[in-house]
Structure 1
Amino acid sequence: MDKNTLNDAELWQQVKQGDTASFSCLFERYWEEMFSMAYRRLADEATSKDFVQNIFIHAWENRQQIIVEDKLSPYLFTALKYSVIRHIYREAKQGTTDLPLSVYSLPDETDLKKQDHYDFDRLRDKVQAEIAAMPDKMRGVFILSYEKELSIREIAMRLSISEQTVKNQLQNARKRLRLRLQSQAIFLPFIL
């Protein structure tokens, strides 16, 4: 059977069973369009390729949790959009690039994409509220890891705690976020 004749949902059912050929077919189906979209936003070929590759790696690793009723593209392009926005915000925070006056001033925006940015901002606000509600020690470790991007060793030294305690706190924080934001949990790796 030629896999190219199957729709995304049929291929995804095979992917869930571990079929790498079906996954490759989906990769070939969406790779070019995703790369093109990322490149239009980032103007950096290597970063754009990395983003697309990481999204597919994440999709493979989480294939059992991803539900494809018709097409895989909504998942893929939403993940790509969140990754690009996160990257832009991070670069702006580090001072390596200017943040657009508004996220909406990114090129090629449509009303639908503006709504997507609004949804992203709402989800990011929910994540921030959940982080703020964490116990002090957990929140401190989490912020040093995700916002300050310190290593486990650096966090342990800064807080005078063991590396294992840091690992445990991070694991508990991620678990807490996944539970509290269950409906959006599949996109958390692209936001945090």
Structure 2
Amino acid sequence: MSEHIKKEQELISKIQKGDESAFVEVYHLYWKRLFNFGYKKLAKKEIVEGIVQEVFIDFWTKRQTLDIHSSLTSYLFTAVNYKIINQYKSQVVRENFAQKERKKGEQNDSSTDDKVLFDDLKANLKRVINRLPAQRRQVYQLRHNQGLSNIEIAQTLQISVSTVEKHMIKAMKDIRTGLREFTFSISIMALLSSI
């Protein structure tokens, strides 16, 4: 048995009995080596320091039930390695979660934007319709709100079918013009907000 392994076994035995000075000795012997090992894999100083600390905390807390089959060196390096693997796994999980949340946020943002635009469009359409001359507005509303045919509208308003058709043509032209102005102002606002 080599001198190194004999020394390790003595330290393990002392630590299992609660010898704090033996633990401090192991800490000083291995801390820097374990940190360098972890840093080569993760390259994140604070995280690696935390991992090495956790390994030593676990080592001390589980000292009475320690069952080290190989050397203390391989036990500690393996423990650091497992924690690094867990760190990678949890980092991947966090990144996937964050990506899903970002996508949800983007979808919510765009659906909120769409709803606002739709509500604005509806309000603008209502304003344009309300500005139509009375009979033209009435013809449009009977057609689109109540679903009446041109003949039914003519009978209801006691006007000719050709007059109904003329009112519908003019109403649609007025609405298109009014909505074109609305979409133009939306485009201008979008352009200004992107500057």
TM-score by length of 2: 0.44
Is the radius of gyration larger for structure 1 or structure 2? 2
Q: Counting helix residues as a fraction of each chain, which structure ranks higher? A: 2
Please, what TM-score do these two structures have when normalized by structure 1? Answer: 0.45
Structure with more contact order per residue of length (Cα contacts < 8 Å, sep ≥ 6): 1
